[in-house]
A and B are shown apart, each in its own frame.
Chain A
């Protein structure tokens, strides 16, 4: 009995070591090997700082929009009856199962020169592709599901007794939302926002297609990692990766802290 437990535990540990922890520790090992100063120089290079600014700008636009949409669509899915609910569900889940490259290509075809919207935007001198708007659209697309996927099950679980009670006591729909619904789903929302942010900061494939990766212009932090690696500036690639990994670990910490409180909210 004990030996079986130990066997399974060692199997799990060895697998995690070979697939997850081992590779991840390489960031520190490689930075040590390629030189901390080289990594630092690459990090404070103008193009790298610009890349982080672009990533941040996209996240600042995409995360609030997706948070608002996530909450509204969750309330609609759980509390309302309307025709086409199945379709709404499918579209919300689709980005989870769809390749980011396909997302990027779809936007490329819609806003490209021969696309339905492309010619109108081009004739009005509004640049969507190879510019911030296209990258924001791509990032919103890939991070659509995360808030809704956390909020929908929580809304189902809490039921609508309290909301009904508030309505009976004369609260308006708006008051009920702010005083009853939002406080009881707040941890699910926070969890969803954290996941959305992580997805926005880490997006690569969809943004790679629509941005054109123009150095110092439309390059995000993740595209910059690719660029540095292709240019054989490994110290730079690992340096930027270290910052991105640090953000990911911060995300994990917030997730771990907000997880257990879900039940008590």
Chain B
């Protein structure tokens, strides 16, 4: 609502602003324009150069390196049984971690928005910790908590369960942080109306709350999935990196490259790169879907 009234106000202001400009002496207006054009060109040049050197060229070099020995070598590197096993494991653990955090992330977001308790602001700040903490530290502490010297007596180190636990730690904030703002904005009247019409709590959640927070959950889950697919720091200590058992794709790429086979590593890396692009497209799609009524 605020945004639409603002844009309306903006469009009303624009003619005024341009009238103001037109009233200025001609010379100063043309000076303004040429210096502005120069500034625009400079900033766009900087952006292009920065992105080319930092992001685009390395990505291009990666794709080129994976293809330069020909398509058959590429497919051979991809279909290497160890690489396939690693990729299957990576996708499985990433899906599990993303889904578990979809459920608990939604619960945590709900508790943070609708519940009142002491120390809420501390809990709220704590949610961002996995974003601030180095992932190798995350892996180390999860290993200490669930490893051989676990104070709980739960020993899952070097298993697939351990990988999922480490991924739950690092992907925890995504769904919480995408659902929380939607819940804050959500009008409670709709829920009250549903209740007064006789809907039980579950129905209110399923029919009123869920449709509203679903885009938030989806984009959070997708980003959590992408993060989980590429994670290495949190996993490398706790998984034991056993080929065919607990070796994920990022570790496979790392070890392949270190072992002197950058081409084999690059083929699997291109697969992860494609997943990343697909994820970004999906998130963009979700965002467009969620805001489809706002534009009209």
Interface residues of A (CB under 8 A from B): 4-5, 8-9, 11-12, 15-16, 19-24, 26-27, 29-30, 69, 72-73, 75-76, 80, 82, 88, 90-110, 112, 115-117, 137, 140-141, 144, 157, 159-161, 164-165, 167-170, 172-174, 195, 198, 201-205, 208-209, 221-223, 225-226, 229, 237-238, 241, 244-245, 248-249, 251-253, 255-256
CB-CB < 8 A to B104: which residues of A?
A: 11-12, 15
Residue of B nearest to A171 (CB): B32
A-B contact pairs, 25 of them (CB 8 A): A12-B108, A21-B126, A22-B152, A27-B141, A94-B59, A99-B232, A104-B254, A105-B262, A106-B61, A106-B62, A109-B58, A109-B64, A115-B61, A115-B65, A159-B6, A198-B131, A202-B135, A205-B135, A225-B136, A226-B237, A241-B140, A245-B133, A249-B132, A255-B125, A255-B128
B137 touches A244 (CB 8 A): yes
Q: Given A29-B151, A172-B35, A248-B132, A161–B9 Cβ distance below 8 Å?
A: yes
Is the C-beta of B134 less than 8 angstroms from some C-beta in chain A? yes
Q: Which A residues are CB-close (under 8 A) to B124?
A: 256
* List of B residues within 8 angstroms of A209 by Cβ: 254, 257
Residues of chain A within 8 A (CB-CB) of B251 are 101
Tell me the complex Cα distance, A246–B3, Å. 39
**Contact between chains at A23 and B145 (CB < 8 Å):** yes
B187 within 8 A of A: no
How far, in whole Å, are A198 and B129 apart by their CA atoms in the complex? 10
C-alpha spacing A43/B129, complex, angstroms: 23
Say yes or no for B185: interface residue by CB 8 A criterion.
no
Contacts of B138 in A (CB 8 A): 23
Once the chains bind, are B43 and A229 in contact (CB under 8 Å)? no
Q: Which of A26, A72, A204 contacts B136 (CB 8 A)?
A: A204
A84 to B136, CA, bound (A): 37
- B279 touches A (CB below 8 Å): yes
- In the complex, A102 Cα to B66 Cα: how many Å? 12
Quick one: CB contact mask for B134-177 with A, threshold 8 Å, 1 for yes?
11111011101110000110000000000001001100100000
Q: Is there an interface contact between A11 and B107, defined as CB atoms closer than 8 Å?
A: yes
Question: Which residues of B does A touch, CB under 8 Å?
Answer: 3, 6-7, 9-10, 13-14, 16-17, 20-21, 24, 28, 32, 35-36, 39-40, 43-44, 46-48, 50-51, 54-59, 61-62, 64-65, 104, 107-108, 110-111, 114-115, 117, 121, 123-126, 128-138, 140-142, 144-146, 151-152, 165, 168-169, 172, 201, 223, 226-227, 229-233, 236-237, 249-251, 253-254, 257, 262, 265-266, 269, 272-273, 276-277, 279-280
Of B20, B28, B55, which contacts A141 at CB under 8 A? Answer: B55
Given A116-B64, A172-B35, 13 extra CB contacts under 8 A: A24-B129, A72-B47, A76-B43, A101-B253, A102-B272, A106-B62, A108-B257, A115-B65, A161-B9, A244-B133, A245-B133, A248-B132, A252-B126
- Knowing A101-B232, A245-B137 are in contact, say whether A252-B129 is a contact too (CB < 8 A): yes
Contact present for B236 and A161 (CB under 8 Å): no
A96 with B125: CB separation less than 8 A = no
Contact A141 B54, CB 8 Å, known A172-B32, A208-B254: yes
- Of residues B3, B24, B142, B249, which shows the largest number of chain A Cβ atoms within 10 Å of its Cβ? B142
Central interface residue in A26, A95, A165, by most chain B CB within 10 Å = A26
Q: Which of B107, B279, B280 contacts A12 (CB 8 A)?
A: B107
